[in-house]
Chain A
């Protein structure tokens, strides 16, 4: 059974701090990794994807992938209250079917 694990949170960080969201996966053959943001009552929104080991930066977001440790993370710099949402980690589970983690709820407080 291929699994994607995330801490459910809530992860509470002050405004302006760095939020660090973590995800581990069980299928060592996974090649593609995605982070989605989901506001309450809304559908998931793709914010980052990463295919290669190392870091990928996009604005305030950095995705980090370590395939040897089967670990992917998302860093959000200068966190804003508008970043408060549930962050879903997803891993390619073969034939492009994504396996989603249950999500980590992030709360950024002023």
Chain B
């Protein structure tokens, strides 16, 4: 079946502009995650959505970052007033997230964000 999809694949923006990144999870997956990966670095957790529960926002680096998930499916990560240090690959993942099983996360292809 279809995997996790993300758009755009690449985004170049000027410092100070707002950007929106989109993630469409695997159908039937209730959990959705956003991560950030800077060049040559590991994965940094940003935010986690599970069903109708309040999202875990503990990884968001500043209040310029926000995310929403509408209808339990598609998610949008918004970065306001972008800074050069926001340049990274933004990865979305989804999982079944069933108690005792299905915790495996599957990643989308990512959005490469470059702030000039």
Identify the A interface with B (CB < 8 A): 32, 34, 36, 42-46, 49, 88, 90, 92, 95-103
Q: Which B60-116 residues sit within 8 Å CB-CB of chain A?
A: 89, 91, 95, 97, 103-110
A96 contacts B31, CB within 8 Å? Answer: yes
B43 contacts A44, CB within 8 Å? Answer: yes
Residue from B33, B105, B108 in contact with A46 in the complex, judged by beta carbons closer than 8 Å: B105
Sample 17 A-B pairs with CB under 8 A, ordered by A number: A34-B104, A43-B89, A43-B109, A46-B107, A88-B42, A95-B50, A96-B31, A96-B95, A96-B103, A97-B45, A97-B48, A97-B56, A98-B105, A99-B45, A100-B42, A101-B42, A102-B41
Residue from B31, B43, B56, B107 in contact with A45 in the complex, judged by beta carbons closer than 8 Å: B107
Task: Give Cα A36 to B37, complex, Å.
Answer: 14
B108 contacts A43, CB within 8 Å? Answer: yes
Identify the B interface with A (CB < 8 A): 31, 33, 41-43, 45, 48, 50, 56, 89, 91, 95, 97, 103-110
Nearest Cβ distance between residue B86 and chain A, in whole angstroms?
19
Task: Give Cα A102 to B31, complex, Å.
Answer: 23
A-B pair number, CB within 8 angstroms: 49
Asked if A96 meets B91 with Cβ closer than 8 Å, knowing A88-B43, A101-B42, the reply is: no
- Apart from A43-B110, A90-B105, A97-B33, 5 more pairs, CB < 8 Å: A34-B105, A36-B107, A43-B107, A43-B109, A46-B104
Nearest neighbor of A34 in chain B, beta-carbon distance: B104
Nearest Cβ distance between residue B25 and chain A, in whole angstroms?
14
Interfacial chain A residues near B103, Cβ < 8 Å: 32, 49, 92, 96
Interfacial chain B residues near A100, Cβ < 8 Å: 42-43, 45
Task: Give Cα A102 to B45, complex, Å.
Answer: 13
Nearest Cβ distance between residue A20 and chain B, in whole angstroms?
20
Nearest Cβ distance between residue A109 and chain B, in whole angstroms?
22
B106 contacts A46, CB within 8 Å? Answer: yes
Task: Give Cα A97 to B53, complex, Å.
Answer: 14
